Amino acid sequence: MPAFRTRHLCSVAAALALTVTAPATAATRADTSAAALREVLFVANNWDGTADVIKSTGDFAKIGRIDVIPDKDTRMAEISANPIKWAYFLAIRNSVGEGHDQFADDMYSTPDGKSVVVSRPSFADVVSIDLASGQINWRFPVSGYRADHMAVSPDGTRVAVSASTANTVHVLNIGTGQQLGSFATGDKPHENVFSKDGKYIWNMSIGEVNTALDDPFWDWTKGDRRITVADATTYRQVKVIDMRQRLDAIGLKDHSDAVRPAAFSPDESKLYFQVSFFNGFFEYDVATDKITRTKTLPKNPATGDDRTTFVNDSRHHGISMKPDGSKLCVAGTMDDYATVVDRATLQEGPLVTASKPYWATVSGDGASCVVSESGADQVTAIDFATGRKTVSVPVGDHPQRVRLGHVAADWTGPAS
């Protein structure tokens, strides 16, 4: 491993001891109570530029819908007038967008439940949309030409967004859109995760996913893929983790080291993550800096092993953990299923048929895993206890990220 990737590992090990804290501050809980808010799930419908808001538990019934591209005409005029922006816009449509524009990748509500913040890949920006009026509060253009996954701080006041063509993560004030800081990443930053104490941001860069050079022999062409851990106050890099060496150490030299979605254990001692092309996931011990377990999940006989057919290199894309840490939920994207996995034994439960499931999250009560079926335009809830499907709810075109948030208790959609 190059020296610049290893020099910080020992010196910052103590600094990265992660503290378990409550998921929200007392002030945040008070704000939520005072405003009479309702917990919901926001579903980002990437291809049609909408977000469906559904109940966070029970029957997950639809509550309302938001247009997240009310400024589409203005944005398209800007892009059309700039040859470079137009070229990137078309490139996004014809590569990662699978022939479609990407208008709603990720989203989080503000602590007061009055607005929702959305990353819009094709428009290379983040916007805040007023939930009452449907109008834009603020807009932040990211560096480069594409916005991607986001993360919100535990207190709900900051949002981190990956600028995937600029190898940068921006951290914004969620209320004003003002940039608080930024930090450099590996190639094509993707997933972001705040530590529970809000002190660190973990970013996973996935490298180049739009070429056909997917055979392990060509792995070196995929770019600099690594986890970057940054201080969430100074925005300085405090640690870099390249999974190439860790995978090689357990004899998996033909596996990609592009870390995709990931989930921490409740005490943040373990990280569970997916990588490109692999039907399964890994367990990584933070303290020892080693991969401790590998879980290979079943292949769908109808899914071939031709890596060039996997959408954006992701055979499996989506992993979440039950709040008590006992179960994992995995979206088997190209294998068309989702499954609940016992964390102690790594034994998977029933394979729940799903059409290109693209994300996995947890219901508000922690009892269900909720996956977005991007191939069927619906979200499906799976009971953690039984591993069985309980309900599916229709949503918009190509749902991807699903996030817990809040709206006003009587909200049913923007007035406009």
Query: What pLDDT shows up at residue 239?
Result: 96
Mean pLDDT of 20-41: 58
User: Angle CA(300)–CA(303)–CA(306) in degrees, nearest 5?
Assistant: 135
Q: Where are the domains of the chain?
A: 3-408
Query: What pLDDT shows up at residue 210?
Result: 87
The pLDDT of residue 39 is above 90:
yes
Tokens, residue 354: 């799903």
Q: Measuring CA to CA, which residue among 168, 161, 99, 125 is closest to residue 311?
A: 99
The pLDDT of residue 11 is above 80:
no
3-state helix, strand, coil in the chain (%, to 5): 15, 40, 45
- The answer to whether 193 and 149 have CB atoms below 8 angstroms apart is no
Q: Which residues contact 404 (CB under 8 A, 6 or more apart)?
A: 39, 40, 41, 42, 56, 361, 362, 364
Query: What pLDDT shows up at residue 28?
Result: 44
Tens digit of each residue's pLDDT (9 = 90 or more) over 155-214: 999 999 999 999 999 999 999 999 999 999 999 999 999 999 999 999 999 999 988 888
Residue 335: C-alpha distances to residues 244, 277, 360 (Å)? 25, 11, 15
Query: What pLDDT shows up at residue 1?
Result: 42
Query: What pLDDT shows up at residue 20?
Result: 35
**Total-model pTM:** 0.90
Mean pLDDT of 138-156: 98
Residue 17 confidence class, pLDDT cut points 50, 70, 90:
very low
Share of the chain above pLDDT 90, in %: 88
Tens digit of each residue's pLDDT (9 = 90 or more) over 214-244: 899 999 999 999 999 999 999 999 999 999 9
**Stated length of the chain:** 416
User: Could you tell me which residues are beta bridge partners of residue 55?
Assistant: 40
Rounded distance, CA 110 to CA 153, Å?
Answer: 11
Q: For the domain covering 3-408, report its CATH number.
A: 2.130.10.10
For all residues of the chain together, what is the average pLDDT?
92
Q: What is the largest CA-CA distance in the chain?
A: 58
Radius of gyration of the chain (CA): 20
The pLDDT of residue 86 is above 60:
yes
Give the range among 16-25, 282-291, 340-349 with minimum mean pLDDT: 16-25
Rounded distance, CA 104 to CA 374, Å?
Answer: 13
Residue 2 confidence class, pLDDT cut points 50, 70, 90:
very low
Tens digit of each residue's pLDDT (9 = 90 or more) over 261-295: 999 999 999 999 999 999 999 999 999 999 999 99
Query: What pLDDT shows up at residue 23?
Result: 42
Rounded distance, CA 65 to CA 95, Å?
Answer: 27
Tens digit of each residue's pLDDT (9 = 90 or more) over 356-366: 999 999 999 99
Mean pLDDT of 46-68: 98
For residue 364, give the DSSP letter. Answer: T
Mean pLDDT of 376-383: 98
Query: What pLDDT shows up at residue 101?
Result: 97
Q: How far apart are the first and last CA of the chain?
A: 55
Mean pLDDT of 38-46: 98
Tokens, residue 376: 């069927």
Give the range among 8-12, 55-59, 159-163, 294-298 with minimum mean pLDDT: 8-12
Residue 76 confidence class, pLDDT cut points 50, 70, 90:
very high
